[in-house]
Structure 1
Amino acid sequence: MEELRSAMEEHMGLMADLVQKLSSELRSGMRPAYDNFIGFFHAIDWKEPWLISLLTFHVVLLIITIFSRKNTNFQMCLFLLTLLGVYFAESLNRLLGDNWKKFATQNYFDPSGLFLSVLWSGPLLTIAILILINTLFCMCYLIVRWKKAELRHRARLSRNKQD
């Protein structure tokens, strides 16, 4: 019995060490990512008119997405347009990188496209995911309605056969 107890205590000690190491790695692992995000956030001049317009565009698109949630055909068109916006992000990054002096105070458009991915593709993909989730809910609701109608029809047929 004593051997079992000591084995359990040893196992619990090992588990506690593993949990402690994992939690310290997670805490130290998130700090560099957080520092990079804060550096990215502070490197941008958020008062530039084109950035304000871009953010306004995304907010308006989100509002349109929310208010048109019952119109599935419109939402599918919106879904395709958002995905096309993401698809052409690389070309857009190249175009904006070549002409940044005409509308911006600094060149945000690096060859890897990080800036445009975060401020253009990220919100568009988020909106596309919202549309996709809404479409799945609509489909589930439609399937339930269809099944209820089918059951009502079968019940009517069975009542007619009994008469």
Structure 2
Amino acid sequence: MEELKSAMEEHMEQMADLVQKFSSELRVGLRPAYENFIGFFHAIDWKEPWLIGLVAFHVVLLLVVVISRKNTNLQMILFLSALVGVYLAERLNNILGKNWKSFSSQNYFDPNGLFMSVLWSGPLLVIAMIILINTLFSLCYMIVKWKSAELRHRARAARNKQD
């Protein structure tokens, strides 16, 4: 019994050490990412009209998604449109990278597409996930509704059979 107790204590100490190491690595590991994000955020001139328009577009699209959450057909059109927007992000990045002087004060459109990924594709993917989750909830609701109607039908058929 003592051997088991000492083995358990040793195991618990090892687990505590692992958790402590993991949490310290996590804290250190997130700091550079946070600093990079803050640097990225401050490098953007948020007062540029086209950036304000882009943010407004995403907000309006999100509002349309939330308001039309009961309209399945419109939700699917919005879902597919968002995914097409993500698909075309690379081409859009190339076009905007060549013509940035006509609408922007600096070139945000690097060959890797980081800016487009963060400010174009990222919000569109979040909106697509919201639509997908809403669709799954709607499907669950329909399955419950269908199953309860089936049970009512079976109960009615059983009562009619008895009469």
Q: With the length of structure 2 as denominator, give the TM-score of the two structures.
A: 0.94
Report the Cα distance in structure 2 between the residues aligned to 1:45 and 1:30, rounded to whole angstroms: 25
**CA–CA distance in structure 1, aligned partners of residues 34 and 157 of structure 2:** 64
Q: Distance in 1 between matches of 2:134 and 2:77?
A: 14
Is the counterpart of residue 64 in structure 1 residue 72 in structure 2? no
Q: 1:5 to 1:78 in 2, by over 3 A?
A: closer
What displacement does 1:10 show? 4.1
The equivalent residue for 2:130 is 130
Cα distance in 2 between the residues matched to 1:12 and 1:72: 52
1:47 Cα shift? Answer: 0.3
State the percentage of identical aligned residues: 75
Query: For each residue in 1:58-109, what CA deviation from the matched residue of structure 2 results, as whole angstroms up to 9, or x when unmatched?
Result: 0000000000000001100110000000000000000000000000000000
Tell me what 1:111 maps to: 111
Structure-2 separation of matches of 1:103 and 1:21: 49
Cα distance change, pair 71–6 in 1 and its aligned pair in 2 (3 A) = closer
Instruction: Look up the match of 2:77.
Output: 77
| Aligned-pair CA distance for 1:143 | 0.7
Give the structure 2 partner of residue 155 of structure 1. 155
Deviation at 1:7, TM superposition (A): 4.8
Contiguous gaps of at least 5 residues in structure 1: none
Change (3 A) 1:73 1:31: same
Cα deviation per residue 1:11-44 (whole Å; 9 max; x = unaligned)? 4443332222211111100000000000000000
Residue number in structure 2 paired with 1:24: 24
SS in 2 for 1:25: helix
**What is the TM-score when the length of structure 1 is the normalising length?**
0.94
- Calculate the aligned-residue CA RMSD, in Å: 1.5
Residue deviations 1:110-140 (CA, integer Å, cap 9, x gap): 0000000000000000000000000011111
Change (3 A) 1:110 1:9: same
Structure 1 distance, partners of 2:111, 2:83, is 21
